Structure 1
Amino acid sequence: MTDTAHSRIAEIVDLTRRAGDPEREFAILAEGNTSLRTADDRMLVKATGTSMSEAGPESFVEVDLPSYWAAIDEGPEGDDEFVRELFSRATTWGRGRPSVESVLHAVCQRLDGVDAVLHTHPVPVNALLCSDRADLLIEGSLFPDQIVVMGRHPLMVPYIDPGLPLARAVSNALREHIDRHGERPRVIYLRNHGVFALAGSAEEALSITQMTVKCAEVLGAALSIGGPVFLSDAHASRIDTRPDELLRRTMLAGEIG
């Protein structure tokens, strides 16, 4: 284990247990996973089959990111044996097996400004992701705090088999998203699956996930009484750039105070 991993193991355990708290209903059983960068070329990620609510240091492994990135860029399509070999070769610390979704964590950890990634399956979010109204989650912004915490442009990806196929699809979608909007998303919605929060800190990842749940609840309620009314582009842009809101975004990320 790197020195940085040793210093961050308590942080990822805390994030994982808080996100896995049964009262939050973000994930049950062995659902969901977390990752934190431990160096330019490594990350801690939850091992497969472990419960978020009961996570401990033994629930995580440290992996070599360049090995993952090379597999995503150059590896075969959907080869289960190749993925098993990758997990064995790339694991630098820990006794568990990296989650299959660790490949998608590696894609997210490749982006500038991403230090923490939280993947969960909150019921209100998945209710929409498993419906024919899922695209409303990315159609617009409903209220100011949504923009402050989640940004204006979440990314939606259709259902794809987890592992290398999903990681490659998300990698391509992220490139197109950044070209279109000039910045990375803070939220990736996976149809019929769940949500990834991409953050600069563990605290921000938890805040983003909490806000995706509120957005889903508000959107679901709006649909039940007629339909959502989104903020105008002008109002949304103003909220996204106001100095006081930028300060609040920083504070919610746990970067000051």
Structure 2
Amino acid sequence: MATEWNPTFVTDELVTLTRSLGEPAKDLVILAEGNTSQRLTDGRIAVKTSGSNMATSTSDEFVIVDVAPLVALMNDPAATQADLTAVLDAGEHGDVHRRGSIETLIHVAVQAISPSAFVAHTHPTAVVSLLASVHAATAFDEAVYSDEAVVLGVPLFVPYAQPGIDLGRLFYNHLQAYVDKHGALPSLVLLGNHGIVAIASSAAGAEAISLMAVKGARVRLNAYAIGGVAGLGADVVAKYFDREDFAERRKALAGTN
């Protein structure tokens, strides 16, 4: 069985992160939007259940998922959305049906390509505004202020695909191409017409990336409103990444390895 319900594997750190990202004032998600996961010591992941609210999450509202069977399903061209739904089913417990999030494959793809401790997927209004605009694919091509470069690094843009197996496959392919080019995972993935994915080695890093993406989107929206965005430029940002103090600050703030 690839998915099981076992709250004893769900850490307080994951629950705290999930509830924090779900706080209405942060405007990262609403209702049952968004999902989080944590890599366990045995290589499986704890991921939020479908339909549960991040702001009020408890350990009961996560399932434990084996990565390898989900990767095999994702890479099987004959597999369908119905097959994925079935694999994510953890059964009924306490009169509640538990199933992994429809976007579990996003979390699985990260672990399959380059294991990371925390993955957080949210739908911030400011970022989605950009990702639903004509600027979606290029909006984050250049950093627009220094701390954004520190925390977000070089983001990855993934075009829109229907959440579920279609998005999982597209996300996996784009993520692999990014790692092949850059030698490491991105801290931030931008999903066209959809939302963001923060990848970090700590819960604090996953939240920092998510919040900095929101600030970055707000800055861009304001800049577009008064004539356009003037980025820092590739040369300036490249020099940041060559600095030892920059790498230390990035690790501390963004939870990168």
Q: String of CA shifts for 1:201-250, please: whole Å, max 9, x gaps.
A: 11110000011001000111111111111112221011123111211112
1:31 aligns to 2:33 (yes or no): yes
Q: For 2:198 and 2:128, how far apart are their aligned partners in 1? A: 14
* Superposition RMSD in Å: 2.4
Q: For 1:224 and 1:126, how far apart are their aligned partners in 2? A: 16
The amino acid across from 1:245 in the alignment is F
Do the aligned partners of residues 39 and 160 (structure 1) sit closer, same or farther apart at CA in structure 2, a change above 3 Å counting? same
Between 105-114 and 15-24, the greater mean CA deviation after superposition: 105-114
After the TM superposition, which segments of 4 or more aligned residues of structure 1 sit over 4 Å from their partners?
none
Match of 1:72 in 2: 74
The alignment partner of 2:26 has SS state of coil
Q: String of CA shifts for 1:66-106, please: whole Å, max 9, x gaps.
A: 111111122524x233112211379xxx9611011011111
Match of 1:128 in 2: 130
* TM superposition shift of 1:183: 2.5
The amino acid across from 2:250 in the alignment is R
Match of 1:15 in 2: 17
Do the aligned partners of residues 43 and 75 (structure 1) sit closer, same or farther apart at CA in structure 2, a change above 3 Å counting? farther
Q: For 2:113 and 2:253, how far apart are their aligned partners in 1? A: 20
The alignment partner of 2:193 has SS state of coil
Match of 1:107 in 2: 109
TM-score of the pair, normalised by structure 1: 0.90
Q: For 2:27 and 2:40, how far apart are their aligned partners in 1? A: 28
5+ unaligned residues in a row in structure 2: which ranges?
A: none
Q: For 1:86 and 1:75, how far apart are their aligned partners in 2? A: 16
Q: Is this contact kept in 2: 1:47–1:99, CA < 8 A? A: yes
Do the aligned partners of residues 241 and 253 (structure 1) sit closer, same or farther apart at CA in structure 2, a change above 3 Å counting? same
Q: For 2:218 and 2:139, how far apart are their aligned partners in 1? A: 11
Q: Is this contact kept in 1: 2:38–2:47, CA < 8 A? A: yes
1:58 aligns to 2:60 (yes or no): yes
The amino acid across from 1:250 in the alignment is K
1:185 aligns to 2:174 (yes or no): no
Q: For 1:138 and 1:21, how far apart are their aligned partners in 2? A: 25
The alignment partner of 1:110 has SS state of helix
Q: For 1:104 and 1:189, how far apart are their aligned partners in 2? A: 12
Match of 2:227 in 1: 226
Q: For 2:226 and 2:191, how far apart are their aligned partners in 1? A: 26
Do the aligned partners of residues 240 and 70 (structure 1) sit closer, same or farther apart at CA in structure 2, a change above 3 Å counting? same
Q: How does 1:92-103 map onto structure 2 within 5 Å?
A: 96-103=98-105
Q: For 1:14 and 1:89, how far apart are their aligned partners in 2? A: 23
Q: Is this contact kept in 2: 1:116–1:202, CA < 8 A? A: yes
Do the aligned partners of residues 232 and 81 (structure 1) sit closer, same or farther apart at CA in structure 2, a change above 3 Å counting? closer
Between 179-188 and 41-50, the greater mean CA deviation after superposition: 179-188
Q: For 2:67 and 2:173, how far apart are their aligned partners in 1? A: 18
1:175 aligns to 2:187 (yes or no): no
* TM superposition shift of 1:156: 0.9
The amino acid across from 2:63 in the alignment is V
TM-score of the pair, normalised by structure 2: 0.90
Do the aligned partners of residues 103 and 239 (structure 1) sit closer, same or farther apart at CA in structure 2, a change above 3 Å counting? same
1:162 aligns to 2:160 (yes or no): no
How many residue pairs align between the two structures? 250
1:236 aligns to 2:237 (yes or no): yes
The amino acid across from 1:19 in the alignment is L
* TM superposition shift of 1:145: 0.7
1:203 aligns to 2:208 (yes or no): no
* TM superposition shift of 1:22: 0.7
Do the aligned partners of residues 131 and 110 (structure 1) sit closer, same or farther apart at CA in structure 2, a change above 3 Å counting? same
